Amino acid sequence: MSHAFIFPGQGSQFTGMGKALYDSNPKAKEMMEAANEILAFRITDIMFEGSEEALKQTNVTQPAIFIHSVVAFECLATDQPAMVAGHSLGEFSALVANKVLTFEDALRLVSVRAEAMQKACLSQPSTMAAVLALADEKVEEICTQIQEQSGEVVVPANYNCPGQLVISGSLKGIELACVAMKEAGAKRALVLPVGGAFHSPLMQPAREELKAKIEATTFHTPSCPVYQNVVAQAVSDKETIQQNLIAQLTGAVRWTQSLQAMVTDGATHFTEAGPGKVLQGLVQKIHKDAVVAGIS
What would the pLDDT profile of 7-62 be if each residue is shown by its tens digit?
A: 999 988 999 999 999 999 999 999 999 999 999 999 999 999 999 889 988 889 99
SS3 for the chain is CEEEEEECCCCCCCCCCCHHHHHHCHHHHHHHHHHHHHHCCCHHHHHHHCCHHHHHCHHHHHHHHHHHHHHHHHHHCCCCCCEEEECCCHHHHHHHHCCCCCHHHHHHHHHHHHHHHHHHHHHCCEEEEEEECCCHHHHHHHHHHHHHHHCCCEEEEEEEECCEEEEEEEHHHHHHHHHHHHHCCCCEEEECCCCCCCCCHHHHHHHHHHHHHHHCCCCCCCCCCEECCCCCCEECCHHHHHHHHHHCCCCCECHHHHHHHHHHCCEEEEEEECCCCHHHHHHHHHCCCCEEEEEC
Residue 59, CB half-sphere, CA atoms under 13 Å: how many? 11
- List the domain boundaries for the chain: 2-122+201-295, 126-191
**Strand 2-7, strand 267-273: pairing:** parallel
pLDDT at 198: 95
Strands 291-295 and 267-273: parallel
Interval 137-151: pLDDT, tens: 999 999 999 999 999
Check residue 194 and give its pLDDT. Answer: 83
Per-residue pLDDT at 57: 86
Q: Which residues of the chain have pLDDT under 70?
A: 1
Scored b (16 or more CB within 10 A) or e, 190-221 reads eeeebbbbbbbebbeebbebbbebbeebebee
CATH superfamily, domain 126-191, is Malonyl-CoA ACP transacylase, ACP-binding (3.30.70.250)
| Residues catalogued as catalytic | 88, 199
Contact 281, 163 (CB under 8 A): no
Q: What pLDDT is recorded for position 154?
A: 98
What is the pLDDT at residue 11? 86
Question: Can you identify the CATH homologous superfamily of domain 2-122+201-295?
Answer: Malonyl-Coenzyme A Acyl Carrier Protein, domain 2 (3.40.366.10)
The answer, as to whether pTM is greater than 0.85, is: yes
